[in-house]
Structure 1
Amino acid sequence: MRLAPLTQVEAALLRKILPPGQVSPKEDASMYEVCVNSGWKGAFSRLVGNGDNRRSCDTADMINWSDPDDPGVLMNACAEDMKRLWTDPIIKKLMEVEKMRPEEMAGFFLDDLDRVTSLRYVPSDDDVLRARIKTLGVSEHRFTVRTGPLGSSMSHDWRVFDVGGQRSLVPAWVPYFDDVNAIIFLAPISCFDQVLHEDPSVNRLADSFLLWKTIVSHPLLKKAYLILFLNKCDILRAKLESGIRLGNYITSYGNRPNDFESASIYLRKKFAALMREHANDRSLYCHFTSVTDMKQTSLILQNVQDVIVHDNLKRSALVG
């Protein structure tokens, strides 16, 4: 009963995050899925007054201490009860019986309750990455990456379009296919035991196979580099180690060893086979990733850039 006020937190935060007018005060905001959309920067600007400088964001300035229903007030007030519930041995046993594994899910913070419920909590870069919020629509990002040695002024401008992977959003990709240098395809290989939100009859990993087939065979992308990120390896490893069998959901895997090395190699071969079948004259650059590992992801993106730049020079006959 003391934790009951937490049911208001999600609805209250959604009303702050979603674009103005999308949810009326009388609507149940919890019916809306938390997701990134094209107006997220504007929403953040409204909250903190400066959308370009997250360092200026102070949690204390965003909490209305006079409002007992403010999400920050509620989280702080319920902190001790939340910790008792999460660490209770009977609760942990019941979760094992019901096969509930929240620690393997995106945005898991229950092990950090002391920190995230504190009065001065400000999300770290790692917190933001762990949220793994789904993207809706198409968002454009531009940035400059230095490519020369330390102290060099050499750089390249990147123009990146982040597109949502849901089935209903795929047709919106086509206008962005013209004159694309590279496609970075993120396949969340940890979702082998999950189904699509929009179609519960379809396995999420199987849907990634179908989407990959569409991408590699698309005529407008025949000159684009294909870079495959087999993503969320950290969650895949945790699931396999907990005893969830890949073969129970991907029947073609059969009785192969249920360990990360065997499973990851098999999935890479599966994606590569689809590419050979539908685009056999193209090179595939494949990486195993956990995008919450910023150092690893940074090195991979640097390698991706080097490949693209070198091949552009080769096409221009500037290098052999």
Structure 2
Amino acid sequence: MGSLWSSDQSNLSEEQLALIQSKSIDQIIRKEAWIIKNMVKLLLLGASNSGKTTFSRQLQLIHGSGYSEDERRGFKSKIFQQVIQDLSAILQDMSDNQVEFQDPLNTEVADVFLKISNQIMQGSMNTRLGLLMMELWLDPGVKLSYQLSLNSKADDSTAFFLDSLTRLADPNYIPNDEDIIRVRVPTKSVSEITFHVKGIQFMVTEIGGFGCERGKWISYFDDVSSVIFLAAISDFGQVPSGGIEESLNLFESICNAPTFKDISMILFLNKMDLFLKKIQAGARVMTAFSNYDGVEGDAKAMALFALKQFMDRNQTPAKLIYAHFSCAIETSSMRFLFSALTDMIIRSHLATCGMY
């Protein structure tokens, strides 16, 4: 079969050529319209620090094209900046809580670390700084300060990067998949990921969780197949409880919005690993939620209580809400979860199209 623009067309009139070109353009438009019509569009929403960006990166690694070496190098400065800030915060907590270094000499080491970290270019690391940080992180007093902060501002990536200082301080260091998954980079804009599963094209749109970004959501509501909502279950038991209240209120507003009346929702109660650590550290759900009547320290009871708080915000009994407990930093478990999730979405999508 010859091309539409083969040499046989040399004797055609301008009118005939224009007609052929018009038909070719129509074919392209119809093809693109078919792709758009049959595309599964997912909206990824949630409050700040819920794990949306980690979720998106997992999708990129599992179903997308992954990250090139240049893209991986681009994460280095963010990782260095984060680990330096985290250790500085732990040292400040030590001072505030009057926690002592087990090795008195580390008081001077801490002073040198803080001085050097303030002098070097932000987001950079050198061998001397890395050695100072390793020395401090090995001190039991620093570890104690970190444990005490688990109920407040420490997160799931702090210890991971501090435990990896030897690797990070290597001049030839290039971030691996787990580094990319764990580094904190707040979503301040709109990003899209497209991928194919079993012949179906997916487009996941992630939107920043900060208040200033939420006004942009409305423009992404058209033709949405489902809404994925992430909430950090680790915010339960945290005082003040503003983080979880923000997630609950946001979930309620989205779940009951007229725009999403007939749209299913997929709720991920994320950061289960940090939630369990907080329970082990003595976090009390009852402190923030007086209606909790379960046993403090019972992880299952507390997790189910957290789930019920979200489900109770739904005012439409017939609305489909699929709930999952997740740990977005664990690639193996997320791979299994994504597989089940995409299968469910594909079945629902084909049923909507009358093909299932």
TM-score normalised according to structure 1 size:
0.69
Shift of 1:202: 6.4
Cα separation, partners in 2 of 1:119 and 1:100, compared to 1, 3 Å: farther
Shift of 1:161: 0.6
- Larger Rg over CA atoms: 2
Shift of 1:3: 0.9
Picking from 194, 208, 211, the partner of 2:247 is: 208
Say if 2:217 is the partner of 1:217: no
- Aligned partners of 1:137, 1:282: CA distance in 2, in Å? 29
Say if 2:214 is the partner of 1:162: no
Partner-residue secondary structure (3-state), 2:112? coil
| Corresponding residue of 2:288 | 249
Q: Is the 8 A contact 1:107 1:130 kept in 2?
A: no
Shift of 1:101: 7.6
| Corresponding residue of 2:135 | 84
- Aligned partners of 1:100, 1:262: CA distance in 2, in Å? 19
Shift of 1:285: 0.6
Picking from 314, 332, 336, the partner of 1:295 is: 332
Shift of 1:305: 1.7
List gaps (5 residues or longer) in structure 2: 1-110
Shift of 1:6: 4.5
Cα separation, partners in 2 of 1:75 and 1:245, compared to 1, 3 Å: farther
Partner-residue secondary structure (3-state), 1:226? strand
Picking from 315, 321, 334, the partner of 1:284 is: 321
Q: Which has the higher contact order (CA 8 A, sep 6+)?
A: 2
Whichever structure has more helix as a proportion of its residues is 2
Q: Is the 8 A contact 1:191 1:205 kept in 2?
A: yes
Shift of 1:5: 4.3
RMSD: 2.6
Match runs of 1:1-320 below 5 Å? 1-8=111-118, 12-13=122-123, 74-93=125-144, 104-108=155-159, 109-145=161-197, 154-192=198-236, 203-254=242-293, 256-275=295-314, 278-319=315-356
Cα separation, partners in 2 of 1:105 and 1:97, compared to 1, 3 Å: closer
Q: Is the 8 A contact 2:286 2:296 kept in 1?
A: no
Shift of 1:107: 4.6
- Aligned partners of 1:101, 1:83: CA distance in 2, in Å? 23
Cα separation, partners in 2 of 1:261 and 1:11, compared to 1, 3 Å: farther
Aligned length: 245
TM-score normalised according to structure 2 size:
0.62
Shift of 1:232: 0.5
Give CA deviations for 1:126-159 in whole Å, capped at 9, x if unaligned.
11111142211211222222xxxxxxxx421111
Shift of 1:294: 1.1
Q: Is the 8 A contact 2:146 2:154 kept in 1?
A: no
- Aligned partners of 1:144, 1:273: CA distance in 2, in Å? 34
Cα separation, partners in 2 of 1:126 and 1:6, compared to 1, 3 Å: farther
Q: Is the 8 A contact 2:236 2:285 kept in 1?
A: yes
Shift of 1:98: 7.0
- Aligned partners of 1:314, 1:293: CA distance in 2, in Å? 31
| Corresponding residue of 1:47 | none
Cα separation, partners in 2 of 1:6 and 1:269, compared to 1, 3 Å: farther
Partner-residue secondary structure (3-state), 1:270? helix
Identity of aligned residues (%): 27
Shift of 1:230: 0.5
Give CA deviations for 1:56-89 in whole Å, capped at 9, x if unaligned.
xxxxxxxxxxxxxxxxx74321222211211113
Cα separation, partners in 2 of 1:234 and 1:300, compared to 1, 3 Å: same
Shift of 1:312: 2.5
Q: Specify the code of the residue in structure 2 equivalent to 1:303.
A: A
Q: Is the 8 A contact 2:238 2:285 kept in 1?
A: no
Q: 295-304 vs 239-248, which deviates more?
A: 295-304
- Aligned partners of 1:167, 1:215: CA distance in 2, in Å? 14
- Aligned partners of 1:177, 1:84: CA distance in 2, in Å? 51
Q: Specify the code of the residue in structure 2 equivalent to 1:309.
A: I
- Aligned partners of 1:268, 1:5: CA distance in 2, in Å? 45
List gaps (5 residues or longer) in structure 1: 14-72, 146-153, 196-200
Cα separation, partners in 2 of 1:9 and 1:212, compared to 1, 3 Å: farther
